Amino acid sequence: MVIDPKICYGKPVFKGTRVLVSDILEMLAGGMSIDEILEEYPQLNREMVLEAIALAAELLRRERRAIPLPT
């Protein structure tokens, strides 16, 4: 993943693409499988998606504030 102000306004994207990491995480949260995502985004691979999940988990571990759960 890379963050470059010249690409997608500096939002995290997968290296060599303009695919936003947040879009892929939202798809996963919405119930799409990794295989379904890879069919839609053939420029990605399984390791890239798993890296995005790991990044999200690490950011949550570092977060000290309570995160409201959906009701």
Domain ranges of the chain: 8-62
Q: Identify the pLDDT of residue 45.
A: 96
Q: Which residue has tokens 């290296």? A: 15
Per-residue pLDDT of the chain (71 residues; tens, 9 = 90+): 888 788 888 888 898 899 999 999 999 999 999 999 999 999 999 999 999 999 888 888 887 666 677 77
Q: Identify the pLDDT of residue 9.
A: 80
Q: Identify the pLDDT of residue 33.
A: 98
> Using an 8 Å Cβ cutoff, are 17 and 2 in contact?
no
HSE-CB for 26 with a 13 A CA cutoff? 5
Q: Identify the pLDDT of residue 67.
A: 63
Q: For the domain bounded by 8-62, which CATH number is listed?
A: 1.10.10.10
